C-alpha cells in the first residue's frame, strides 16, 4: 500500500533523473558535432518556426524559461541573424513579435538533419509505438502538473 516511502522512488524523481541524461546527451552531441547553436537556441528556433509571430512572453511560456532568459536567448539569435524582433501591438500593447529569418530556417533545417541521424540510432531498442506512448504519457502528466504548479512567466 505505502510504496512511496522514499522521494527518490517517486515518478517525479524518476523523470528528473531521466531528463538529466537527456540534457547531457544533448549537450555532448552538440559539442561533438560542432553545431553552431546551443541546445537552447535550437529549441527556441524550433518553437518560433512552429509558432510564428509570437511575442516574447508567449515564447517564454512555450520553452518554459523566464522572461529574462528568453530575452537573452533571443538577443543572441538576433545577433546571429537567425531571427528578427519587430515592434508590434497585441491588445493595444507594444510587444516585440519574433520571426525566423531565411538564415534561421536554414540553420534549423541543417541542425535538425544532423541531429536526426544521430538520435535515430539510439532508441532503436524501443519501438515507435512505445516511444509515442511515452510521449503521450509525458504530455498527459504535464497537463496534470500544470494545474498544481505556478509558472510565473
Which residues bind to a copy of itself, rule: CB under 8 A? 2, 4-26, 28, 42-43, 46-47, 49-50, 64, 112, 115-116, 119-120, 122-123, 125-126, 130-131, 134-135, 137-142, 144-146, 148-151
- Among a copy of itself, DNA, none, residue 6 binds (CB under 5-8 Å by kind): a copy of itself
Helix (H, G, I), strand (E, B) or coil at 93: strand
Residue with cell 504530455: 139
Nearest distance in Å: CB 24, DNA:
7
52 neighbors 45 (Cβ within 8 angstroms) = no
Nearest distance in Å: CB 107, a copy of itself:
13
64 neighbors 93 (Cβ within 8 angstroms) = no
Q: Does 96 bind DNA (CB under 7 A)?
A: yes
Site track for DNA across 53-92, x = CB under 7 A? --xxxx------xxxxx-xx-xx--------------xxx
User: From the CB of residue 62, how many other CB atoms can be counted at a distance below 10 Å?
Assistant: 17
48 neighbors 59 (Cβ within 8 angstroms) = yes
DSSP secondary structure letter of residue 126: S
103 neighbors 36 (Cβ within 8 angstroms) = no
Q: Which of 10, 12, 23, 110 binds DNA (CB under 7 A)?
A: 23
Helix (H) or strand (E) holding 90: strand 83-90
Nearer to DNA, 128 or 150 (CB): 150
Count of residues touching DNA (by CB under 7 A): 28
Nearest distance in Å: CB 109, a copy of itself:
9
Q: Does 99 bind DNA (CB under 7 A)?
A: no
Helix (H) or strand (E) holding 8: none
Amino acid at each position: 500500500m505505502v510504496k512511496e516511502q522514499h522521494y527518490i522512488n517517486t515518478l517525479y524523481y524518476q523523470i528528473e533523473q531521466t531528463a538529466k541524461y537527456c540534457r547531457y546527451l544533448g549537450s555532448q552531441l552538440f559539442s561533438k558535432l560542432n553545431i553552431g547553436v546551443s541546445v537552447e537556441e535550437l529549441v527556441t528556433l524550433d518553437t518560433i518556426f512552429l509558432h510564428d509571430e509570437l511575442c516574447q512572453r508567449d515564447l517564454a511560456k512555450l520553452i518554459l524559461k523566464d522572461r529574462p532568459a528568453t530575452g537573452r536567448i533571443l538577443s543572441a539569435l538576433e545577433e546571429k541573424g537567425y531571427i528578427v524582433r519587430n515592434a508590434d501591438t497585441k491588445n493595444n500593447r507594444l510587444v516585440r513579435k519574433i520571426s525566423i529569418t531565411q538564415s534561421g530556417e536554414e540553420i534549423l533545417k541543417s541542425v535538425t538533419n544532423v541531429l536526426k541521424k544521430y538520435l535515430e540510432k539510439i532508441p532503436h531498442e524501443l519501438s515507435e509505438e512505445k516511444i509515442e506512448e511515452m510521449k503521450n504519457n509525458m504530455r498527459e502528466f504535464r497537463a496534470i502538473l500544470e494545474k498544481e504548479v505556478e509558472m510565473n512567466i
